[in-house]
Amino acid sequence: MNRRLGLTSVALALVAATAGAFAYTEHLKVQRSPVASPVLTRFFSPDCGPACPTRTAVIGFRLRRAELVDVAIVDLTDKVVRTLVRGLSHRRGRVRLHWDGKTDAGSSAPDGAYRVRVRLDRERRTIVIPIDVNLDTRPPAVRLVSVRPIVISPDGDGRHDRATVVYRSSELAAPLLSVNGRTVARGHGRSGGVAKLHWPGRGDGRDLPAGGYELSLRVQDRAGNVSRPTRAVRVEVRYVKIGTAPVRIRRGGTLRFSVETDAASFRWVLAANGRGRPLLTGRGQRGRPVRLRLPGRIAPGRYVLVVSEGGNADRVRITVGRAPPSGR
């Protein structure tokens, strides 16, 4: 009888202990964490330059009540790498700290993933925020695959309006396009491998004038590290251009000239030099040279040949000389 009573008492004690543990566990589940709303820099590099926004890692979180806190950077084995604050008395609200990638000894921490450990003195709790802070000081690498076409005419007609730059990056990175050594465009971050960027002939927020431009590319990774630039490729911006035209022609002679354009047709005007009064006008077709005999009313003197299309134009000066005497 006494044995039965003893077994019954043990069983009741186990049930009571299990119920108590369950109740305590359920209480922890519904209890809100004293550290909330973490905002951490996921990738940073102390070597990315003085103006780089990810030169240091931002460590931010919110305390639900006033506390005495220790905040440390730990590696994935929970070993302390850098103590950011110890015994900091902080009111309820946001805590914002920075880590410069240094250890407590003052040396640079090795590249890798780290986490933020927060110790709360009054709560008697230690919380490791489960978000990696990645220290990455290695620049990415990039290789230029191709730039096509190398002659563009960004006049909005849908033909050769932009150059496509194809490149290969070693990791997730954003492309930085430079024109004549100056960065003019930044693309979205792309995963490692082959990607492309389009250049519509613009720089500093405006359309660039006709001419030749040296295009090169760099990429910037998530930590802010920038690669070395690729080789430069020359791209010609051409709207409409007079290809060949005589500098001098005799009176009554034949005027021949060609035009380089991607438009289907163009307009040409021969005007008096200085006054701009049109004397002859016409339209030409892409790929076909223009040929016309000057009427006798075009007297010897200096003139301007203007070719235009889509708001763009090119011009060349032409001198009409005297006709040779009859019989010669």
- Read off the pLDDT of residues 29-74 as tens digits, 9 standing for 90 and up: 456 899 999 999 999 999 998 899 999 999 999 999 999 999 999 9
**Pair type for strands 93-99 and 112-120:** unpaired
pLDDT tens digit string along 278-317? 899 999 998 899 999 999 999 999 999 999 987 888 899 9
Is 156 in the same domain as 176?
Answer: yes
Residues 40 and 125 both lie in one domain: yes
pLDDT digits (tens, 9 = 90+) for 77-105: 999 999 999 999 999 999 999 999 999 99
What is the enclosing helix (H) or strand (E) of 17? Answer: helix 2-30
**Domain edge (last residue) among 237, 264, 282:** 237
Task: Point out the least confidently predicted range of 22-26, 64-68, 219-223, 271-275.
Answer: 22-26
Evaluate whether residue 252 is within a structural domain: yes
280: which strand partners? Answer: 270
Higher pLDDT, 277 or 240: 240
Q: How many domains does the chain have?
A: 3
Q: Which domain holds residue 119?
A: 31-135
Among 135, 156, 189, which residue terminates a domain? Answer: 135
Q: Is 153 exposed, middle or buried (0-12, 13-18, 19+ CB in 10 A)?
A: buried
Assigned domain for 7 exists: no
Is residue 120 domain-resident?
A: yes
pLDDT at 323: 79
Domain boundary among 135, 150, 182: 135
Mean pLDDT computed over 207-233: 96
